Chains A and B, each alone.
Chain A
Amino acid sequence: MGSLLVIIISMVLVNNYPLAQFLGICPFLGVSKDLDSAKGMGIAVTLVMGLASAATWPIMQILNHFEIGYLQTVVFILVIAFMVQLIEMFMKKNMPALYVSLGVYLPLITTNCAVLGVCITNIDKGYGFLSSVVNGFGGGLGFWFGLMLMAGVRTKLVDQEYLPAPFRGVPIVLVTAAIMSLSFMGFSGMFA
């Protein structure tokens, strides 16, 4: 139980996906314009990461059984794309408002490197099934956390009159992301 807690804290703070490992930057910059859609995206990514971890772990066992581990990337992408499709259908039916607000970023989770990254990390670190799922959810929580922080800063920052014109929009967001990333370096070395 203790080790699972360590995994979650490690994924949220120490190895935070967007801010420490620089994975999933596209939605991190794209969907952080306001808190509502950031929340939706965070939930969606957390869900996809957890479920993808749960789905890819047994598949990796099958691949290992047949000694065709080299198919990892291809098969994982296939499974992740399938899961995102399923979640998209589910959302369209049950949460239409969230579906509209996420827009193009929901299908983009398919090619989100953080999702593939978490699945491959599970295998590389030799996690068991439970640890893998916790690692997936933890990674999603970390992504959600970073996204919410970014969205909170951006709602107060972007297109403000006091910013010099060349900095408005994407440039100031990139500068902000860099500074946030620097501050997250303070966590490095806390856990493995």
Chain B
Amino acid sequence: MSIAIPIILTVAIGFVAAAVLAYASKVFAVEVDETAVAIEGVLPGANCGGCGFAGCSGYAAKLAEDHDFPCNKCVVGGAAVAEKIAGILGVNAEAEDKQVAVVMCNGTSQAAKLLMEYKGINTCKAANSIFGGAKACTYGCLGCGDCEAACQFDSIHIRDGVAWVNRDTCTACGACVRACPRHLIRLGSAKNLVFVRCHSNDGARDAMQACKNACIGCKKCENTCKFDAVHVENNLSYIDPAKCKNCGMCEKVCPTGNIINMRLVKKAYDEKQKGTPVVPPKAPAEGAQAQA
């Protein structure tokens, strides 16, 4: 009997508590906005924060409250989810320009000069804090893969010592942008195919000494561009995404190969898939995918 009393007593207390709670949940029931619940149902549930809210439920609550709020903010779900949300709210979905992450460095292990052999903790943050990492270039990709670790969608990888983005799966959530200690990753429109893959503000001599793929600020691209889209400032070329027509002329004249034309990279990848391995001169062999 001695064991029965404690068991009965504990169970009884638990039972009374459960009964009171069950009753209280009826009395204190809060009316939940069913629109918000429905919207949260169609959201992917990645809680990546790409929409600007802390999680999917925050965005759903905002949409349910304010029907004029743009319903295309979910970068993971994209247009498909925007349409579903619009269906629930009874508004029209506006297709938002698909964004992708763009890495502004092409300092591959062949091109970039090494100052030392880095054998420390294998994160960019750690490498950056020790004399700015192994590479001579103080602007470029450290290649330890902080962005790769931050990516929830397996869309960014270190190839040949530099980060490459898979544009098909990238959701532009911005996790890699925040992870990069060198601030080399930005979000850009997926329509733009030609990029400057360099972030060095060093002059021509210093930049070339550090990396063969560096932008030397020679202004050949600026003079070639027919659309006034390319300009060189602080020894670094910049392509205005609004004016760029993806013609790729700047990429052809670039003497160092820091300007990358995604169309060529993609073509090379497609041909490789067909069985005729053609690697464009400026894309690294391994990274020859639909990547930038």
A interface with B by C-beta (< 8 Å): 59, 62-63, 66, 68, 71, 74-75, 78-79, 82, 85-86, 89-90, 92-94, 96
Contact = CB atoms under 8 A, between A and B. Distances in A.
B5 interface: yes
Interface string B1-15: 000011001100110
Interface of B: 5-6, 9-10, 13-14, 17, 20-21, 24-25, 28-30
Nearest to B29: A93
Contact of A85 (B14, B21, B29, B30): B21
A93 B10 contact: no
Given A68-B5, A92-B30, A75 B13 contact: yes
Contacts of A71: 6, 9-10
Contact of A89 (B5, B6, B28): B28
A102 to B, nearest CB: 15
A63 B9 contact: yes
16 contacts: A59-B13, A66-B5, A66-B6, A66-B9, A71-B6, A71-B9, A71-B10, A75-B10, A78-B14, A79-B17, A82-B20, A86-B21, A86-B24, A89-B25, A90-B24, A92-B30
Nearest to A62: B9
A157 B153 CA distance: 39
Contacts of A89: 21, 24-25, 28
A82 B5 contact: no
A85 B14 CA distance: 13
Contact of A68 (B9, B13, B25): B9
Nearest to B12: A62
A66 B28 CA distance: 35
A111 to B, nearest CB: 16
Contact of B6 (A68, A82, A90): A68
B28 A74 contact: no
Contacts of B30: 92-93, 96
B28 A92 contact: yes
